[in-house]
Amino acid sequence: MREGGTMKKVIKKLTVFGLCAVLATNMNAVAYADILDDIIDNTEINDTENVDNTENNGTENIDNAEDADPVDVEDTEDTATENVDTPSDANEVKTTAVFSDIEGHWAKEWIKNAVNLGFVSGYEDGTFRPDRTITRAEFSKLLNNAMQIEITKKLNFSDVNENEWFYKEIQKSVAAGFFSGYENNTFRPNNPIKREEVAKVVAGAITTGNIDGEGATLLTDYNSIQEWAKVSVNTVYNKGYILGYPDKTYMPSKALTRAEAVKIIFEIIDNENIEYGFNITNYNESYSSAVVVGNLNILDSVGNGNIYIKNVVVLGDIVVSAKNVKSVELTDVKARNIIVESENNPVRIVQNDNVVIANTQLPPIVTVQKLGQNINI
């Protein structure tokens, strides 16, 4: 910021001395010195940067959102930082974010890169507050922003009102399958989100691939992880998205911090093959290892061949528009819905291992075969 002011001084002084050099050729030394002093004394040098004044009211920059009152949670020690590696491409991202409270923080590079990618921002007082806990609603917004989720779903939660800033964000995150709410029909938007809850959410947004291994089971507090979260915790651990702490603990009930949230989400968008909508158009095509934001469409150009989809997460619907396709084989696939548009196509939907489809819209003529394990459709 001061470099601009210094440069102005240098330019003005060079101009002054240049003018004086011309004058010196026709004047004696005394007159020259008098004029030089007069010019310098009457030259205004403005070293103040032009900035817009903002009120530092400490609220986060969230579009159409009022920052929810912080939820009282147990303070966590900053020394319990997660085992993390500095992002490999940290120096490749042009960073412009400068916050007063991230210097020396373990997540500094992730924060700067995430801000430049546009899915998180700081506060108007120039802070980021990396160790502040993050709520379920706030995490929904970050993940929606990063994954560019636009689809929405009607909500019936008793504690999510249309006039709340997070209403549309929760609509998006539920439609994408990140969240489902609690059995008592609540979402608890202002509750701090726990690390085991984050693992469950993240596992629904990433491909699994070949990530078998003991992973999180070696952590000293693995047995304290709730049963519904253990598979997800192990998945995200093996993928490297949510690791343990230096003392070999996972701390599943610990509230996630803003820094941890940024690191996790940055790793997802940096490592997953993310497609924004995708059309399968070729005969006997195999499509694998991708996260599709939007719909995965199987078009009529595939003819009467077979389609193979493996290790794919569809944050939307699998739509079979093809009228003559013989079969669609699914292995390690997650999707919101599978839709067969033609009422007259006796296509076979073959489900191998690890298939999770929330809903189906299939004509009676369609055959569904379940050949593998862990099938939920």
Residue 166: inside a domain: yes
Q: Same domain for 267 and 353?
A: no
How many distinct structural domains can be found in the chain? Answer: 3
Q: Same domain for 103 and 159?
A: yes
Q: Same domain for 364 and 260?
A: no
Q: Same domain for 138 and 259?
A: yes
One-letter identity of residue 137: A
pLDDT < 70 positions in the chain: 1-97, 209-212
Q: Note the pLDDT of residue 209.
A: 66
Residue 238: inside a domain: no
Q: Same domain for 110 and 259?
A: yes
Residue 184: inside a domain: yes
Average pLDDT, rounded, for the chain: 79
Q: Note the pLDDT of residue 377.
A: 75
Q: Same domain for 15 and 106?
A: no
Evaluate whether 318 touches 336 at the Cβ level (below 8 Å). Answer: no
Q: Note the pLDDT of residue 210.
A: 57
Q: Note the pLDDT of residue 4.
A: 45
Q: Same domain for 120 and 264?
A: yes
Q: Same domain for 259 and 144?
A: yes
Residue 203: inside a domain: no
Q: Same domain for 133 and 167?
A: yes
Q: Note the pLDDT of residue 211.
A: 65
For 231, the token pair is 């598979």
Residue 146: inside a domain: yes
Residue 205: inside a domain: no
Q: Same domain for 360 and 299?
A: yes
Q: Same domain for 171 and 266?
A: yes
Q: Note the pLDDT of residue 354.
A: 86
Q: Same domain for 145 and 267?
A: yes
Domain span at residue 264 reads 90-193+255-271
As a whole-number percent, the residues of the chain with pLDDT over 70 amount to 73
Q: Note the pLDDT of residue 82.
A: 53
